[in-house]
Structure 1
């Protein structure tokens, strides 16, 4: 399982490595956006040879709640960008068509998607008994990466109780990172991957807004990894041991949240810029990689009336309007920068915070050695020393 001999894992900034120039939110996490909550359930059982359907198990589920109210009754604006479509998500097409998100967002392992979606439907039906009877249907949103290198993928070990626990336990605290929740069995750039998060502050007309990213990283080869813009192989050849954990196509999921009152078109534009942040760490969006980005605004512009129809939330709509055309403003440029920087840092946090994990058939995903990377950067005068 997890390598107990490893020292405490540290986020990238704790090593003196500072990606980007914009200021971070107070927690430097997607939960800096007021109302957003994140919950994880991690499942790690058994060791040794793979017995399909029985283990070893290295998997989990992660829940992202856009706000604390009933999301089905109070949907939010959202946009989706498909970087490379080799994936098995559910619920994205309706978001692309209507521009609204009315579901919690769940992340998990590939073959768990139908079971997780089923559990999510049960969870939402409890608070919305009118669904499919006196009201519209429900669009569950579940995204995935393949954790089959470490996990018994065929076992589909995420059950309804795990999904419900992740939703109920979701917190506004800084999101846990590394080998937790959906990230438990993921690998990235030949190291242990998983969950990572980061955020940026944006100021507009003396008002401060936030944008945050949460990623599920499961992509890339070791020779492609870039730290603070510099290829790993140029920093220290010892770090580039290609005989260790492999890598390759994999997948990545990027979830973006902001408290700016953006519309779905603007949010789709933000989602598309996550690809630049992924490129900064070395992503090639490989042929067999499922790379998806979903962006949403926490501003509650809509609500359902007593007939289940979506209507404008008039009591808040006036104060939520921005007095600029964002498509032509400097603010949009700064938002693009915030997306790129927070996506890049979130991926790096997922690597720096993940410990070594041993999984099925003796497969091992080594936690990225943060101390060695930081030392190599310092030797090359590419970061300030950690104090």
Structure 2
């Protein structure tokens, strides 16, 4: 069950119809999940892919910006995002040791879609979190076929959460973690725009877990931690993708990405040296940006743009923070029990147990 199905409402904003990143028109999400025994090794990993618009990203670029709260993680393509402010490829999320193959496959897909690739290049954005407690990460079991499958599975509509795609082997606040999503729809007087979020949650200590501001993790400490055998509580990372249909410029996208830090902090995360906390935001509100074709000679000298005035941007920041907070809780609630190769349990957190612990903190259903 998701947070709102349990009566847990986080923040003051109103979710979109799906309460997912796909509430932003045009955004599609696809997963490829790998759960197998390969050469005697336990494999629990995958790829999650986000397409920012309904068509090819190269032909319909959108403005983007990123923020790094803690850099113990990796991502490709961010330097060009920071320089040009443009997102021209799909986004992918996987495990730490599979960034390269996912990036190379996305490049090959771009090459194969071009009539003449001689004067075009691309630098896809691929991000990661570490799944080495549940997955044979050194085996590098992700291949091109998994990227192709995630691409083929990309669709609008409800987003699968939990142990799917890149989130298959992830652990969050010492419970089973993974993919989570949420959204907020601003009222008409604030622009009527939508902010959608997808997280790959693999971070946090249990004792610091908070839900709706209540220190619920302190009442869940009797549940065995998967880190008792190896590793350190809080190790891992979180990747956050924020999408909006508001007309934001690149520096405003960067400001929006920064607000992911607030949502993570509200759930008790964001303070670990061993966590890579990387966030990217993109905005589809400007529809007519020139296609990413660096060989063209007929581009106009300038392009007319729209932007949200800064005096009216705060509701978008609030929406992003709330949606990140809820997406993390949804990721945890979607998790189911999984064991490591050594037989150590990574427990899922079911809704009944969470509600019981919440009531112990003094929380009451709104």
Quick check: TM above 0.5? yes
How many Å apart are 1:381 and its aligned residue?
Answer: 4.8
Counterpart CA distance in 2 for 1:87 and 1:167 is 24
Deviation, 1:313, is 11
Q: Residues of 2 paired with 1:280 and 1:35: CA distance?
A: 29
Residue 208 (structure 2) aligns with: 224
Distance 1:91 1:285, change over 3 A: farther
1:90 to 58, 76, 81: 76
Task: Work out whether residues 83 and 285 of structure 1, in 8 Å CA contact, stay in contact via their aligned partners in 2.
Answer: no
Partner of 2:295: 307
CA gap 1:309/1:255 in 2 versus in 1, 3 angstroms: farther
Query: Does the CA-based 8 Å contact 2:215-2:361 persist in structure 1?
Result: no
State the secondary structure of the residue aligned to 2:259. helix
Map 1:33-48 onto structure 2 (within 5 A): 33-46=24-37
Greater than 6 Å deviation, 4+ residue runs: none
Aligned to 1:321: 306
Once residues 46 and 18 of structure 2 are traced to their aligned partners in structure 1, the CA distance between those partners, rounded to angstroms, is 24
Q: Secondary structure at the match of 1:87?
A: coil
Query: What's the counterpart of residue 356 of structure 1?
Result: 337
Residues 1:372 and 2:353 are matched in the alignment: yes
CA RMSD of aligned residues (A): 2.1
Query: For 1:85-118, what per-residue CA distance to the aligned partner results, in whole angstroms no more than 9, with x for missing partners?
Result: 1112111111011100011000001001111111
Name the residue aligned to 1:3: none
Residue equivalent to 1:7? none
CA, structure 1 residues 306+269, in 2 after alignment: closer, same or farther (shift >3 Å)? closer
1:117 to 1:206, Cα distance in 2 relative to 1, 3 A: closer
Quick one: distance in 2 between partners of 1:308 and 1:215?
36
Q: Is the 8 A contact 1:58 1:359 kept in 2?
A: no
More moved, 23-32 vs 281-290: 281-290
Match of 2:270 in 1: 284
Cα pair 2:53 2:60 within 8 Å, conserved: no
Shift of 1:158: 1.0
3-state secondary structure, aligned to 1:226: coil
Q: What is the CA-CA distance between 1:364 and the residue it aligns to?
A: 2.3
Q: What displacement does 1:373 show?
A: 1.3
- Classify the secondary structure of the residue corresponding to 2:169: coil
Query: Closer, same or farther in 2 for the Cα pair 1:279/1:378, shift >3 Å?
Result: same
- 1:321 shift after superposition: 2.2
> Which residue of 300, 307, 323 corresponds with 1:342?
323
- 2 CA distance for matches of 1:43 and 1:255? 22
Contact 2:237–2:276, Cα closer than 8 Å, also in 1: yes
Corresponding residue of 1:20: 11
- 103 and 375 in structure 1: CA distance in 2 versus 1, 3 angstrom threshold: same
Structure 1: runs of 5+ lacking an equivalent: 1-9
Cα distance in 1 for partners of 2:355, 2:150 equals 34
Tell whether the 8 Å contact from 1:302 to 1:310 is kept in structure 2 after alignment.
no
Task: Write the deviation string for residues 113-163 of structure 1: whole angstroms up to 9, x where unpaired.
Answer: 1111111111121212433x1x23111110000000000001111110110
Whether 2:20 is the aligned partner of 1:29: answer yes
1:39-73 per-residue CA deviation (whole Å, 9 max, x = no partner) reads 00111012xxxx8x752100000000001111112
Indicate conservation of the 8 Å contact 2:41/2:136, yes or no. yes
Supply the distance in 1 between the matched residues of 2:96 and 2:263 (Cα, whole angstroms). 24
3-state DSSP of counterpart to 2:313: helix
The answer for the alignment partner of 2:253 in structure 1 is 267
* Deviation of 1:363 (Å): 3.0
SS at match of 1:171: coil
Paired residue for 1:114, among 63, 77, 100? Answer: 100
Contact 1:213/1:256 (8 A) holds in 2: yes
Q: 1:97 to 1:204 in 2, by over 3 A?
A: farther
Give the alignment of 1:167-178 within 5 angstroms.
167-178=151-162
Structure 2 residue runs without a partner (length 5+): 228-232
159, 162, 182: which one aligns with 2:166: 182
Cα distance in 2 for residues equivalent to 1:176 and 1:313 = 43
Conserved 8 A contact 1:31-1:173? yes
